[in-house]
Every structure is written in structure tokens, then in C-alpha cells.
Amino acid sequence: MARDISTTELPHLFERFYQGGGEKVSFSSRASTGSGLGLYLARQIINAHGGTIWAENRLPQGKELKPKP
């Protein structure tokens, strides 16, 4: 199950190697949780095609990631 995203984390979600918890990680220190590249690559691809993607907190329902063509 996905965890909640704090408002302090939202501006960093699309940064390269960001995995939450306020830190960027290196490949040598990462666990099996991933590399922190997924949302970064998604933003790069969507931006390259002229679109945008962002994240919002939608309390009480939770977070929402939004791509827009």
C-alpha cells in the first residue's frame, strides 16, 4: 500500500533519485524500493511531448498524480 506524501515532499517528488523521507539516494545505498527515477522519467517524457505532470494532496482522499496532454 502506498504511503501518504507530506506537503514538504511534494515539491521533490519529480527530482532524480528522490525516494521520499527527505533524501536522495545513490545506487549503492538503495534497497529494493527502487532507484528514485520513475517519476523523474515520467516528467521528462511528458514534458518532451508538450505535456505536464504534477502531484497534489487531496485530503481526505489522499494524493493524486495528474498528467495533462
What pLDDT is recorded for position 31? 54
Q: What is the pLDDT of residues 6-64, one digit of tens each?
A: 788 888 889 998 887 655 655 555 455 678 899 999 999 999 999 999 887 766 666 66
Ordered by start, the domain boundaries in the chain are 10-68
**Grid cell listed for 49:** 511531448
pLDDT value for 40: 94
Q: Which residues of 15-43 are buried (b: 16+ CB within 10 A; e: fewer)?
A: eeebbeeeeebeeeeeeeeeebeebbeeb
The per-residue pLDDT for 19 is 83
Output the pLDDT for position 8: 84
